[in-house]
Amino acid sequence: MEFEEAPELMSTTTSQFVKILKSGDDDQRIKSIQSLLRYAAGGYENFEKLVKQNVFDEISNVARSCGHGPLFLICDTAKWMYQCTRKVSESKADEIYHLRHELEELKSKLKLD
């Protein structure tokens, strides 16, 4: 499944979205989070940019103070997206590490033969 970049992301910076998260009304916050999630779904590089800018931390902060309702649900969804993507990334990194280790062992074994 491919995601197209949301049109609002072309004219709004991440810092502007974070500003809306901190001070906007609930509807503005929901739209901002939706836009950020669409951006993150565009590829791992996009996701990492948001992580480096602490966007998911800001979303968690909003979730702690917004009560239960639509805003909480989208914040919670964003938190789960972050956690799942992080776990997959760590799992793949572990897998790559083990494959490299096996490759090095095979190389050294070939040199001995």
pLDDT tens-place values along the chain, 113 residues long = 444 545 554 556 777 877 887 787 888 888 888 888 888 888 888 888 888 888 888 888 888 777 777 887 787 788 878 788 878 878 888 888 889 999 998 888 888 76
Q: Is residue 92 part of a domain?
A: no
Residue 32 in domain: yes
Q: Which one, of 45, 68, 64, 52, lies nearest residue 15 by Cα?
A: 52
| 110 found inside a domain | no
Provide the number of structural domains found in the chain.
1
> What pLDDT score was predicted for residue 95?
85
* pTM score: 0.63
Which of 64, 11, 60, 59 has the alpha carbon at shortest distance from 34? 59
Residue 59 belongs to domain spanning: 7-82
Q: Does some domain include residue 109?
A: no
Q: Answer yes or no: is 71 within a domain.
A: yes
- In a domain, residue 72? The reply is yes
Q: Is residue 19 part of a domain?
A: yes
Q: What is the 3-state secondary structure (H, E, C) of 60-105?
A: HHHHHHCCCCHHHHHHHHHHHHHHHHHHHHHHHHHHHHHHHHHHHH
Q: Give me the amino acid identity at 43.
A: G
Q: Please report the pLDDT score of residue 11 as a whole number.
A: 58
97 located within any domain: no
